[in-house]
Chain A
Amino acid sequence: MDNNGIPVSVMEILKSFGAVSGADGSALSNADVVKGHDLAWGGPGNLYTIRPYTLGPAALEVFTVRERIHVDIDGLGEDLVDLHGIGVYRRHEPRIGAEGAQELTWTTATIGAQFLSLQVVGDSEVFGQVRVTNTPWKREGATVAPAQPGGGKVTPLKNCVTLLFPRFEIENLGAMVDTGDVPVAVESRVNMVPPIGDVSRTSHGYALFDGSRQVGTLIAADLEIGALLHHIPIETAKDPVEAYAVTSV
């Protein structure tokens, strides 16, 4: 059913059909849709700011982060929370990652990064203020590696897998909870580094613990990488391959 060749809005169909609970927007609670930062949508006056399909030298980089988490906590309930803040990573020198490749190019490269800091904060009617941080004394990082989405065809697309040990400080629980020894994996598809505009998502839930006691579940997490705030070249950051060698989850 089209309107003069223009498709009828899929969002309107979703809202009117009612197959999904909360499709009128109430499922989002106080959060918003995760669609990718505005920088990634272009348009007049919004020229994309990062060189695409281009390898850069190692660097320390700081960028804005938005994280939407869907959490269920025993005794408090379930809610979606929008969190905003910053992330810092040390991006390592690219290396050849495609099997059989002899030349380092965007298409053949694998790029590792060490996550140094994540600090995001948001508010929920159910949980009060929520702050999410990383765990810097554990190995946390990302690997951007060649993908083959075209049935083996070499393309510029790369998989980006990030492993983090997030800690959730929840005001109304009066405690900080985490995922124990299980890292949270978020994955995305990228064609630029740093991945400004990238959206990465979990593919399953994670148990949340207060010490050794399970107190809830991280049902889903969706992350948007926003603006690059700072870029500092690093001379000696080599990729510790074994530490962050994750290519899919």
Chain B
Amino acid sequence: MTATAEASTGATRLDTAALLDAYRAQVTPAAKAFVEDRMSGNELRSRWLPYFQGPFTEYELGVQAAWRDAFGPDHGIEPGPPHADPAYAEQLRHFPVTISHNNLERLVDVLAVELGDRTASATVTPERVIDFAYVIDALDRFMASLVLTS
């Protein structure tokens, strides 16, 4: 379990450590195999999706619940400008974990579209493989920093 949402009581616990463990167990080994040219774009995506749709989606639902616990129920269009109040710092602190995961999801998607059953050495967009390696490392560091400060 990476998040337990209990909106009615306002008690949503976000377990970034559990998400990081799942990331290191499921995503990092696939990322290494991909950059070592041992895994195709399609295989990378097939290894990524169970994590993205499983532990990460559960975590994201927890972040959303935590935001709603603090900000109030979702009644549709909220008045006012889109800026977040720094009073919600604790809830906002975890939100970038979800942004970076969602951006990574699109990157894995386009790598699979381009490469299909071929491996990284066949790419015509090596810059995206570099993006991928950078983001995989950066996301690990970012989640680890949240765990240390929680």
Q: Chain A contact residues: over half helix, strand or loop, or mixed?
A: loop
Given known contacts A11-B137, A52-B64, A52-B67, A149 and B76 CB-to-CB distance under 8 angstroms: no
A56 within 8 Å of B (CB atoms): yes
Q: Chain B contact residues: over half helix, strand or loop, or mixed?
A: helix
Interchain CB contact under 8 A, A51 and B119: no
Residue of A nearest to B74 (CB): A105
Among A31, A222, A231, which residue has its beta carbon within 8 angstroms of that of B82? A231
Given known contacts A193-B82, A219-B124, A35 and B131 CB-to-CB distance under 8 angstroms: yes
CA distance A23 to B145 in the complex (A): 27
Across the A-B interface, how many residue pairs have beta carbons closer than 8 Å? Answer: 233
Interface residues of B in 117-150 (CB under 8 A from A): 119-121, 123-138, 140, 142, 144-145
Residues in chain A near residue B102, CB distance under 8 A = 157, 188-191
Please give the distance in Å from A107's CB to the nearest CB on chain B.
Answer: 8
**Total number of A residues with any Cβ neighbor in B under 8 Å:** 77
**Total number of B residues with any Cβ neighbor in A under 8 Å:** 72
Interchain CB contact under 8 A, B64 and A53: yes
Among A20, A49, A55, A190, which residue has its beta carbon within 8 angstroms of that of B83? A49
Interchain CB contact under 8 A, A17 and B37: yes
Given known contacts A19-B121, A105-B74, A231-B81, A31 and B106 CB-to-CB distance under 8 angstroms: no
CA distance A10 to B104 in the complex (A): 14
Which 3 A-B pairs give the minimum distances between C-beta atoms? A42-B96, A19-B37, A189-B102
